[in-house]
Amino acid sequence: MPATRIAARFEVRYTRLLDAEGKAAGPLPGFARDPAALVALYRAMVLTRTFDAKAIALQRTGRLGTYASSLGQEAVAVGAAAAMAPDDVLVPSFREHGAQLWRGVTLHELFLFWGGDERGNDFAGPREDFPISVPVGSHALHAAGVALAFKLRHEARAALCIFGDGATSKGDVAEAMNFAGVWTLPLVFVINNNGWAISVPRAAQSAAQTLAQKAVAAGIPGEQVDGNDVIAMRAATEAALAKARAGGGAHVIEALTYRLSDHTTADDASRYRSDAEVSQRWAEEPVARLRRHLEGAGLWDKAAEEALLHETAATVEEAASAYLATPAQAPDSMAAFTYAAWPAALAAQRAWFAPAPAGTEG
């Protein structure tokens, strides 16, 4: 026996089902033969993009807080969420508006949240889904806890956690993947690799050839998917979730996409990347890609497009108006949810909320 042998090997597969022109690059999954399913994905991506544009417009006019655009990444969020069962749990980052909308979070709730009102996280729809997590990557561990809860209760449910390429450099994500592997948790991680963590490009984030291979160290499979291909995203996530719910353990999907927007409305991406790079990436974007596919299949035309854009704009405008017409809560509401019940020992502090004169005691 030689002194040195190969102790482990791994490979990372990359899947794209629709090319940039919207043509099938190979056999498509079953749902892609259902016109209603494809149109639903398209409508969800258009809604996400329309919401995005309105949110930016509101921020630019001082009527919304700092906002993280998902422009160009709609297929990651929508495709992954479309693969979920209603009683799975979504544990999102802050750029998955499309996933939240698909899951039943309302436009009004999203506007409220990004407008600085946490009532927007008290979803009427998916009650067990986690709210947006602003600290990068730390929510991966919550997803592991949720998945462990499912496993301990012997429920056929799975958690889906989405975070960006930058988050894969964090210990939280490594620890979450490790838990998921060692305990065979029903948990699917989706890495929304949009190429940039604010100003730091993917290549400066990790020397690993793929981010999907970070799964390998945790003993779970990892794969790459074209994140601008919503059919591939839904198919890959469906397979991973089905395996997870069946007791087959966790999975990592690295979705390769591109952040066509600034990091947030507080960012100016021209400081660190060229317009030429961004322009080139528009050719790959997911909404036009699926539209071309639908048109090629005879499922979509100009009239349908115009009707959808009109309808979607009206829906988003209505939600924005409702958000703008929603008064802020009373100041003492900020103490309403600090604890299940405000401790008697801190009772005097609530004098702070008395109308006037301002001041507090004790």
Partner 1 sequence: MAALTLVQSVNLALARAMADDPRVLVLGEDVGIDGGVFRATDGLLARFGPERVLDTPLAELGIAGLAVGLAAQGFRPVAEIQFSGFVYPCIDQIMNHAARLRTRTHGRLSCPMVLRMPAGGGIRAVEHHSECPEAMFAHMPGLRVVVPASPARAYGLLLAAIRDPDPVIFLEPTRLYRAVREEVADDGAALPLDRAFSLRPGADITLIAWGGMVPEALAAAETLAAEGIDAGVIDLATLKPLDMETVLAEVARTGRCVIVQEAPVSGGLGAEVAAGIAERGLDQLLAPIRRLAPPDVVVPAPRLETAYLPDAARIAAAARETMAYT
Q: Which stretch binds partner 1 (CB under 8 A): 31-39, 120-128, 231-239, 291-299?
A: 120-128
According to DSSP, residue 328 is labeled P
Query: Which ranges in 161-285 belong to alpha helices (H)?
Result: 171-182, 202-205, 214-217, 230-245, 275-282
Report the greatest alpha carbon distance in the chain.
Answer: 85
Closest to partner 1 by CB, 142 vs 292, is: 142
Q: Which stretch binds partner 1 (CB under 8 A): 40-48, 116-124, 253-261, 302-310?
A: 116-124
User: Is 243 among the residues that bind partner 1 (CB under 8 A)?
Assistant: no
Convert residues 130-159 into a mask of x (bound to partner 1 by CB under 8 A) and - (unbound).
xx-x-x--xxxxxxxxxxxxx-x-------
Residues contacting residue 244 through CB under 8 Å, at least 6 positions apart: 147, 158, 185, 186, 187, 188, 250, 251
User: Is 35 among the residues that bind partner 1 (CB under 8 A)?
Assistant: no
Q: Which stretch binds partner 1 (CB under 8 A): 25-33, 96-104, 191-199, 330-338?
A: 330-338
* Cβ 79 to partner 1 shortest distance, Å: 24
Convert residues 331-360 into a mask of x (bound to partner 1 by CB under 8 A) and - (unbound).
---x-xxxxx--xxxx--------------
Closest CA to 361 of 341, 344, 343, 346: 346
User: Is 326 among the residues that bind partner 1 (CB under 8 A)?
Assistant: no
In whole angstroms, give the CA distance from residue 14 to residue 205. 20
Residue type at 1? Answer: M
User: Is 217 among the residues that bind partner 1 (CB under 8 A)?
Assistant: no
Q: What is the CB neighbour count within 10 angstroms for residue 318?
A: 12
Closest to partner 1 by CB, 8 vs 340, is: 340
- 246-305 residues in contact with partner 1 (CB under 8 A) are none
User: Is 125 among the residues that bind partner 1 (CB under 8 A)?
Assistant: no
Q: Which stretch binds partner 1 (CB under 8 A): 177-185, 227-235, 240-248, 290-298?
A: 177-185
User: How many degrees, rounded to 5, is the angle at CA 328 between CA 322 and CA 332?
Assistant: 150
Closest to partner 1 by CB, 97 vs 259, is: 97
CB 51 within 8 A of CB 316: yes
User: Is 106 among the residues that bind partner 1 (CB under 8 A)?
Assistant: no
User: Which burial class, exposed, middle or buried, applies to 49 when counting CB atoms under 10 A from its CB (0-12, 13-18, 19+)?
Assistant: buried
Residue type at 215? Answer: A
Strands lying side by side in the sheet with 222-226: 14-15, 222-226, 251-256, 187-193, 159-164, 89-91
User: Is 328 among the residues that bind partner 1 (CB under 8 A)?
Assistant: no
Contacts to partner 1 by CB under 8 A: 89, 91, 118-119, 121-123, 127-128, 130-131, 133, 135, 138-150, 152, 171-172, 175-176, 178-179, 182, 334, 336-340, 343-346, 361-362
